[in-house]
Amino acid sequence: MDVPTQTAPTGAQLAPPAVADLSRPELYLNRELTWLAFNWRVLAEAADRRNPLLERLKFLAITASNLDEFFMKRIGGLKQQVVAGMQELTPDGRTPRQQIAECYAEIRRMEQRQRELLAELLEALKEYDIRLVRYEELSDTQRAEVRNHYVKNIFPLVTPLAMDPAHPFPFVSNLSHNVLVSLRDPQTADGLIARIKVPLGAGIPRFMRIGATTHFVALEDIIAHNLDLLFPNMTVEACEFFRVTRNANTERDEEEADDLLEMIESELRDRRFAPIVRLEVGRGMDAAHRGMLAFELGLNEREDVFEVDGMLALRDLMELVAIENPALHDPAHRPADHPALRSSRNIFHIIRDAGSLFLFHPYQSFSTSVARFLREASEDPKVRAIKMTLYRTSADEEIIHYLCDAARNGKQVAVVVELKARFDEAANIRFATKLEEFGIHVTYGVIGLKTHTKVILVVRQDYNGLRRYSHIGTGNYHPGTARLYADFGLLTSDDAIGQDLTELFNYLTTGYKLERSYRKLLPAPVALKKALLARIEREMKLGPAGLIQLKMNALEDVQITRALYRASQAGVKIQLIVRDTCRLRPGIAGLSENIRVISVVGRFLEHGRIYYFRNGGAEEYFIASADCMKRNLESRVEVMAPIEDAGQRKDLRMILDTQLNTKRGAWELHADGSYTPLAAADDTSPGAQELLTVYAERKLSASERQRRRKIARRRTVTQ
């Protein structure tokens, strides 16, 4: 699948600029369009026939979910700028209105491709007797069974709302499924329009299974064909479907808030009633009905209404992905244990003896490493205190449970909860409330900054006094996503890092004095960006002997991008692994011919960050919670940590080399903004993620063999 080309906004040729002339907009790609290009790459996984069928359906659902979030966050923000009359150009030279128009064009193309793929996948799934059927296709017996289930389990939850002078246009909630019904009273000939919200959630699936089969029918289709229950003796003239998306950008000014928790709760209420940014309607909806909906919802009918050919909300296809059929899924992934953590010894003794342990998830288990670290900290009688940042965690509350256990066991527990974690605000409020009920000291970070860093500090009474044990990660403390996201972590007893985390937590819990003394960690917003720019500058001075390798989710910050351009002009070799948004245009003669940018898309979401600088042979490796985005570097509390152990650097080198040199699942970015896959369509070689899975398993096997040899040698000596 071709990924769209993003042309320079001015239409100018990409001629090499002078060293001092790096402000030209045509040298930068657009943030929104490069993110959409990433969604095209995810969609390519849905089209890839080398992937099992239900995995392809999963990727299709992910692209639809991604677009929902894109409208809520990015389009919503751009619309706010338009309403505010903002005309400030982006670094790539676009106004907010221009960005919306270009994004809309791209999205409409993408949605057309989604529909084509859905038809292809549903047809292929019929071979395995997995079918999404229309209500009309059911037998009389099946219809009776479906209707009976609907009447008993769903119908009492359905509420029709009339729309007439006595009944104003009803509130339509974000991402809800809606049925618009046109009716006529056969006795009076009076017309009526009503809206029905499809009651999804709380145990009610979008797709109802028919008996014991793997055939499914959509709930809105069932409602539409059983309207006689809602409107007895009325004539149904039309039944149409629609869906709305609301703006999620409802943040208020923290400086003006008396109570941050109350402010976030108010924001959530605001978001529920936030302006609508998109209306999706089924193709063929009556023009008058379409116009009425657009008017009532405050939308531009020509621009903001998206006609959908077929089913709305493809994100719900995730329900079908859950069907158990091993032949249609990737092989089950079982993370390997970290070799040092196979032992049942106290985890703090293991870390103390090793100095530090490097973790790479999901290839290595989160539950037997990070979760174990927190669990044992909650139980160990020698642990005195636990401090932790919490950005997102799971609904099963495993991490919360360990923290509450720690408090019950008499340990001092302090948790910095980020209430402004987008779309997890309500969950984090619940978690914070529960933690406080157990006497845990809960704070919400520093006013004006999101706490995005992922760190744990455990203070333990060791044989020689208090010792600090730390975990620094690139991913959230979320056991569920730890099985799906590729992230890195460091468990360490390094005292300098422990002291740095003590300073960081003192800052987070008081907000006092940003300029603290840090020995090894590089926190944002005070030090991280300066450190990255200084290291890029240092490599630039080395010229062709310099080497920079960066792995991140996004490269959006203009200052970092310009610094990389300058380093390339000086001859530095630069290799970037950027998952989605990337402003930089590689391969421009005289500017970026020394820069290569690839994106890796696969079974796991690439989420970890690695920053490597050759430094004239005195190599530096770092892992970080931050991407090279302005918001991460200037408006969030983040941490970048050095990896100093030779063996752990070997692991990082293996990860970088594997992703830079493996073709399957890798895409290369070109100067015009287009991406091309590095592997041929029939290439069946393993991708980088498969190779890293094998690498983790081999590390564990080698460690086990070494352990057995040691046991055998000891037995030989004793004999």
Q: Are 30 and 99 in contact (CB under 8 A)?
A: yes
Residue 160's H or E segment, with its range, is strand 160-162
What is the per-residue burial (b if ≥16 Cβ within 10 Å, else e) of 555-566?
bbbbebbbbbbb
Q: How far apart are CA 710 and CA 713, in angstroms?
A: 5
Q: Are 199 and 150 in contact (CB under 8 A)?
A: no
Write the CB contacts of 342 (distance below 8 Å, at least 6 apart in sequence): 700, 703, 704
Give 38: exposed, middle or buried? Use CB within 10 Å, 0-12, 13-18, 19+.
Answer: buried
The CA-based angle 574-575-576, given to 5 degrees, is: 120
* Helix orientation angle between 370-379 and 347-354, rounded to the nearest 10 degrees: 120
* Chain position carrying tokens 């069974």: 145
Active site residue 149: no
Write the CB contacts of 147 (distance below 8 Å, at least 6 apart in sequence): 222, 226
Active-site residue identified among 215, 338, 452, 607: 452
Structure tokens, 403: 């923290």
Three-class SS of residue 443? strand
C-alpha distance from residue 342 to each of 375, 487, 707 (Å) = 16, 20, 11
Write the CB contacts of 95 (distance below 8 Å, at least 6 apart in sequence): 87, 89
- The dihedral built from the CA positions of residue 162, 166, 168 and 171, taken in this order, carries a sign that is negative
* Chain position carrying tokens 């003796």: 233
Going by C-alpha positions, the residue among 170, 198, 195, 178 that lies closest to residue 245 is 178
Q: How far apart are CA 719 and CA 671, in angstroms?
A: 69
Q: Are 320 and 309 in contact (CB under 8 A)?
A: no
State CA 454 to chain mean position distance: 15
Helices (H) and strands (E) in the chain, counts: 20, 27
Q: How far apart are CA 441 and CA 551, in angstroms?
A: 35
Q: How far apart are CA 520 and CA 522, in angstroms?
A: 7
Q: Are 310 and 118 in contact (CB under 8 A)?
A: yes
Give 273: exposed, middle or buried? Use CB within 10 Å, 0-12, 13-18, 19+.
Answer: exposed
Structure tokens, 45: 């996984």
Residue 124's H or E segment, with its range, is helix 96-125
Pairing of strands 675-677, 666-669: antiparallel
Other beta carbons less than 10 A from residue 23's beta carbon: 11
Q: How far apart are CA 566 and CA 546, in angstroms?
A: 12
Catalytic residues: 452
